[in-house]
Structure 1
Amino acid sequence: MEQIEHPSALMQAHWVEVIRNYAAEAEQLGRLHPAQLQLIYDRQWFNLLAPAVYGGLQSSLPQLVKTEEALSWADGSLGWVVTLCCGAGWFGGFLDPGIAKQIYSDPKACFAGSGAVTGTATITNGGYIINGSWKYASGVHHATHITVNCNIMNDDEAVLNADGTQLILPFVLDRGDVKLLAGWKYIGMIATGSDAYEVNGLYVDKSRCFKIDATAAVIDAPLYRYPFLQLAEATLAANLSGMAVHFTDLCVPAFKNKAANIRRVNAANVEVMNEALSQATELLNQARAIFFEAVEASWNDPENTALLKSVSYTSRILAKIARECVDELYPYCGLTAASPDTEINRVWRDLHTAGQHALLTFIDN
C-alpha cells in the first residue's frame, strides 16, 4: 500500500487561509462567508461534477473525493457545502440540454436539494404542479437552483412503476420559486445553512423533470454512468476523513498546551497522549488508503458489482474510524476543545454532526 498524502497537498496556502480565517464568522452568519464563496466561484468548486460541455470540470471520482477531503480538512462546513452542491450539480448530466444551458449560463450556478421524497408532482397539461416541503438542503442560501424529489400523481391517483411501486422523479426548480424555511438548529455544520424549503402549487414544464439512471444520462461520459449510491457514499466519507485529519492536526498544539500548563500532566502522561495520536493517525491513514484504492478500482471497472460493494463498505469503515479516532483523542485535548469558540471544537462538532448522515451509519458486509 502506497504512502497516503496529507490533504493539504492539494490545497494552496492562500486557499486554506481564506477558508479558515472566515470559518468562525461563517458560523455566526449561518452560511458560508462571502470571501469563502468568492474562492469557491474562482476555483469552480460548485462545478466539480458539472458537464464539461456546459463549462463544468467533470472531475473523475478519484480526483473528486481527494479534492473534497482536502476542502473538508480546510473546513468541514465549506467542504460539506461544496460536496452536496456539486453532487447535485452532477444531475447536469441528466437534465434536458435546453434547461441545462440556461442554468450553467450563470457563472455562479449552484444546485442544492434534498433526497427526501416529501413532495408531489401532479400531471397537468405539458407539465406538473408541485407541492411539498423538504428538510436539510446544505448550501441552499447560495443556490441558484433547487432539486426536489416527488411522488408522481395523476389527479388524486398515484402513478405506479411497472412493478407496482410509486413512481418517484426529481425536478430542478429556480431558486426564486422556492420558499426557504429556518430549520437547521444543530450543534455542528452551522455554516452549511442546511435549512428547509417548501413549494406550493408551482407549475413546471415537463422539461424540468429528469431521471437519475445511467440509461437516462444525456451526457455520454463515465462520470454519469457511475452509480449514484457509491458516488454519494464515497463523497460523504471523504468529508468525514478530511475533518478527522484536521482534528488530529489540531491535537498537536492542544497536547503541547496541556503538557505545558497542567501540573498533573507528567512525562508519562505526555507519552500516553502522543502514542494515542500516533496510533490514531496511522489507523486513519490506513483507512484512507484502502478507501481511495477502492474508489480508484471501481472507477476503472464500474460494472463490477464486487468493486462497487467495496466502495460502500470502505466508505462506512472510513467514516467509523474517523469518528472513533477523534473520540479517542478528544479527552486529551483539554477544556479548550470543549469551548464552542475554538477551532478544534468546531471541527469536533462538525464531524459528529456530519457523521449522523444515514448513508454512513450502518456497515454491511
Structure 2
Amino acid sequence: MPVNIKHPSALLMPGWVETIRKNAPEAEKLGKLHPAQLELVYQQQWFNLLSPKQYGGLETPLPKLIKTEEALAWADGSLGWVVTLCCGAGWFGGFIDPNIAQQIYSDKQACLAGSGAPTGTATITGEDYIINGSWKYASGVHHATYITVNCNIIDGDKPILDTDGNQLILPFVLDRKDVQLQSGWKYIGMIATGSDAYSVSDLYVDKSRCFKIDANAAVIDSLLYTYPFLQLAEATLAANLSGLAVHFIDLCKPAFDFKATNIRRVDAANVLVMDEALKLATELLNQARATFFATVETSWNNPQDDALLKEVSNTSRVLAKIARESVDGLFPYCGLLAASPDTEINRVWRDLHTASQHSLLTFLE
C-alpha cells in the first residue's frame, strides 16, 4: 500500500534547488562548495541549524532538522553532507564555554568543522594544554571558521584515565588559523564536501577551549543539548542517505525512458519490469522514511526512554540499508547514462555509496 509521505522537495524553494544543482558540477571541480551555494547556506543559516538561539542560531528540533537535511541531500549530496556535518559541529555550541561561543558566533558566517577521531594529544601544562595531532575526513573544513579536535589527555608522559579506567578523551575548539589543512579526500563521491585532513603542532590552548559532550555538561538549557549525541548523529546521517536515494529514484524515470527509446532489445515486457522495480523501490523507501521520521518524533517527545532511543538507532540503520539497496536494485536498468561520471545520476550514485561507508550506519543492531 502506498505511503502518504511528502517528497523532500516540499521543504525547499525551487530557486534554492536551482542554485544548488546548477553549481554542483563546478563544486566537484573545486573540491568544495561553490560560492553561490555557500552564499545560499549563509542566507538560510543552514550552518547554524543546531547552534544555540542565544548566539543567533536556529536551535532546530531534531524531527524538523532531519527533514531539512534530507531535503538538502536530495538537492545535492555534497551540500547536504557539509551542512549536516558542520551544523552538527555547531551543536557543540551548547557545551562550549559561553565566552568562547560568543566569539565564535559573532561572525555571521561562523562554521564549525571537525573529526570525531581521537587522533591527537592534549598535554597538560599548568591549567592549560599543548595540542599535537592529525585528523582525517573533516567535511566542510574549507569553509570552517573554527575546527574541533578530539584529543587523548596526557600529563607528562602518562595518560589521564576517565572514571571507567579508560583513556580520557576530550574535544577542543580551535581557531581555523591555528590549524594546517592537508589534502586527503580522494574518493569517488562527496567530492565537493572537501573532507580533507588537518593537523596541529605544539599549539598552546587555553583550558576554556576544552568542552565535554555530556547532557550534564550542557551550558544551554534546552532539550536539543540533552538529547543523546549518538542518536542525533545516526538520524542526521541516515536522513542524508534517504535524500540521496530519493534523488536517484527521481532520476530513474528519465533514465529508463532514454534506455527504452535507444535500445531495441528493451521491449514492452522489459519496460514493465523496470517500471515495477521503480514502483517497488519507491514504496519501500517511503515506508522506511515514514517509519524513521515517526520514530525520531516519538523519541524526541520521550527523550529519556532508552527503548525509543535504541529504536532511533535501528530505524536509522534500516533506512540507510534500504536507501543503498533501492538504488543498487535500480542501477542496472539505468544504462551507461548512470555509469558516466559527467551525469547527475552518476554523481548521486557516487555520493550515496561514499556516504554510506560511514561506520555509524554500516551494521544493523
TM-score normalized by structure 1? 0.99
Which residue identity does 1:66 align to in structure 2? K
Stretch moving more, 118-127 or 5-14:
118-127
Query: How far apart, CA to CA, are the structure 2 residues paired with 1:161 and 1:334?
Result: 55
Cα distance, 1:2 vs structure 2: 6.6
Corresponding residue SS for 2:116: strand
1:363 is matched with which residue?
A: 364
* Separation of aligned partners in 2, 1:152 and 1:294: 37
- In structure 2, the partner of 1:66 is 67
Work out the CA distance in 1 between the residues paired with 2:230 and 2:111. 21
Question: Mean alpha-carbon deviation: is it higher for 120-129 or for 78-87?
Answer: 120-129
Please name the residue that 2:189 is paired with. Answer: 188
SS state at 2:131 partner: strand
Deviations 1:315-358 (A, max 9, x none): 00000000000000000001010000000000000000000000
Measure the CA separation in 2 of the matches of 1:343 and 1:162: 50
Tell me if structure 1 keeps the 8 A contact 2:89–2:113: yes
Aligned to 2:262: 261
Alignment-derived partner of residue 33 in structure 2: 32
Alignment of 1:82-121 (within 5 A): 82-121=83-122
Q: C-alpha distance in 1, partners of 2:262/2:176? A: 52
Q: Once structures 1 and 2 are overlaid, which stretch shifts more, 91-100 or 123-132?
A: 123-132
Partner of 1:243: 244
CA deviation string 1:154-213 (max 9, x = no partner) = 111101112211111000000000000000000000000000000000001000000000
Following superposition, the deviation at residue 3 of structure 1 comes to 1.5
Contact 2:3 2:283 in 1 (8 A): no
> Which blocks of at least 5 consecutive residues in structure 1 are unaligned?
none
Report the equivalent of 2:150.
149
SS state at 2:117 partner? strand
C-alpha distance in structure 1 between counterparts of 2:8 and 2:19, whole Å = 16
CA distance in 2, matches of 1:36, 1:2: 32
Give the match for residue 332 of structure 2: 331
Q: Could you tell me which residue of structure 1 aligns to residue 321 of structure 2?
A: 320
User: What is aligned with 1:300?
Assistant: 301
Residue type matched to 1:327 in 2? Answer: D
Deviations 1:252-287 (A, max 9, x none): 100111111111111111110000000000000000
Q: After TM superposition, list the pairs within 5 Å mapping 1:263-302 onto structure 2.
A: 263-302=264-303
Q: In structure 1, how many angstroms separate the alpha carbons of the residues matched to 2:3 and 2:272? A: 28
Aligned residue number for residue 227 of structure 2? 226
> In the aligned structure 1, how far is the partner of 2:215 from the partner of 2:314?
22
Secondary structure of the 1:115 match is coil
Following TM superposition, by how much is the alpha carbon of 1:136 offset from its aligned partner in structure 2, in angstroms? 0.1
Percent identity of paired positions between Structure 1 and Structure 2: 76
Three-state SS of the structure 2 residue aligned to 1:116 is coil
SS at match of 2:119: strand
Matched positions, count: 364
Q: Deviations over 1:280-306 (max 9, x none)?
A: 000000000000011001100010000
Task: Give the corresponding residue for 1:163.
Answer: 164
Contact residue 110 and residue 145 of structure 2 kept, 8 A: yes
Query: What are the Cα deviations for residues 52-101 of structure 1, in whole angstroms up to 9, with x where unaligned?
Result: 00000000000000000000000000000000000000000000000000
TM-score for both structures, normalised by structure 2: 0.99
Q: Match of 2:342, SS?
A: coil
Q: Distance in 2 between matches of 1:345 and 1:31?
A: 18
The Cα shift of 1:125 comes to 2.4
Point out the more displaced range, 118-127 or 304-313. 118-127
Query: What residue is the counterpart of 2:5 in the other structure?
Result: 4
Query: Partner amino acid for 2:27?
Result: A
- Tell me the residue number matched to 2:180: 179
Native 8 Å contact 2:113 2:139 kept in 1: yes
- Report the alpha carbon displacement of residue 126 of structure 1 after superposing the two structures with TM: 2.9
In structure 2, C-alpha distance between the alignment counterparts of 1:122 and 1:319, rounded to whole Å: 39
Q: 1:26 is aligned with what amino acid?
A: A
- Residues 87-120 of structure 1, C-alpha deviation per residue, up to 9 Å, x if partnerless? 0000000000000000000000000000000000
Please tell me the residue identity of whatever aligns with 1:226. Answer: Y
Where does residue 216 of structure 1 map in the other structure? 217
Letter in 1 for 2:277: A
Query: Alignment RMSD, CA only?
Result: 0.8
**Is 1:56 matched up with 2:64?**
no
Indicate if the aligned counterparts of 2:66 and 2:236 stay in contact, CA closer than 8 A.
yes
- The one-letter code sitting in structure 2 at the alignment partner of 1:43 is Q
Structure 2: distance between partners of 1:3 and 1:132: 49
User: Which residue in 2 is equivalent to 1:201?
Assistant: 202
State the SS of the aligned residue for 1:82.
helix
Q: Which portions of structure 1, spanning 4 or more consecutive aligned residues, are displaced by more than 3 angstroms?
A: none
